[in-house]
Amino acid sequence: MSSILHAIKQELEQLHQQERKLADYILHHPGNVVTMGITELAEQSGTSAATVSRFCKSMNFRGYPDFKTKLALDLAQAAAPMTYQDIIAGNPLAEIVSAMEQNHLRSISDTTRLMDLQALEQAIRALNQAGRIDLYGVATSGIVAMDFYQKLIRIGKQATAFPDPHMQVTSAANLSPQDVAIGISYSGETLETIDSLQCAKEQGAITISLTKVGSSTLASVADINLFASSLEEGMRRGDMASRIAQLHVIDIIFAGMVSEKFDEHIPKLEHSYHLVRKYRKDKGR
């Protein structure tokens, strides 16, 4: 199943009656949907053009054309044989290596296809202009937040990534409209992260979410929504593919920030690199 269809299936029970009727049609006829105009889809699904438009925006697409284009790309990729593989008892090591490679490659590929370049550009611009950047996340998403933190400080950005949710809210309470806060949660429903991002928003800071594709509470709070692949399921995987997908987005944002302000950021990157090498060498490490 494609990432988008998977996200729709997960949202099915939370949708209103007309939107659920539309979603059910899309799930059963995805190949037809990508060839239809909005009026034809409304007629075939027994809904209305307004319902189609509202549904697409509730799933965090810019509208029906954006939804249809990304669904077509998603369906084309989903036809490929590579699928996510779970951990199996007694699996030979060679097959585990191959499975992890396929999971990570698929996660990156799925995430790349779903990227909204306009949202990415907005996030990069806001981060480059930010006086201070707060990063919120717990558990696996907290590791992703820390990864971005260590990147940001290398280019001289004032950033924080507290692992304690109480400290995240405390930090958020002291943000201003010149600052940016990023909430990272695969599900988009991590209460601590939602609270921190909501607090940052109330202080006037620009807010960015990084979640799985589809609607979520965290995405509804944020000014800018970024998404990672939503196909990984099962407690045995330990959020491996989703972590890789989130890190993929973070790496793209960081590369975009450096590229946009190359002459400003590169000297700082080189300076921090040489100083770390100097002091590490002096201490025999």
For every residue of 231-242, DSSP letters joined together read ----GGGTTHHH
DSSP letter string, 156-175: T--EE--SSHHHHHHHHTT-
Q: Tell me the pLDDT tens digit for each residue of 62-91.
A: 899 999 988 888 887 665 555 667 777 888
pLDDT score of 200 more than 70: yes
Full-model pTM: 0.79
Q: Tell me the pLDDT tens digit for each residue of 208-231.
A: 999 998 889 999 999 999 999 866
Q: How confident is the model at residue 104 (pLDDT cuts 50, 70, 90)?
A: confident
Q: How confident is the model at residue 236 (pLDDT cuts 50, 70, 90)?
A: very low
DSSP class of 115: -
* Structural domains of the chain, ranges and CATH numbers in brackets: 3-78 (1.10.10.10), 117-271 (3.40.50.10490)
Both tokens assigned to 146? 């820390």
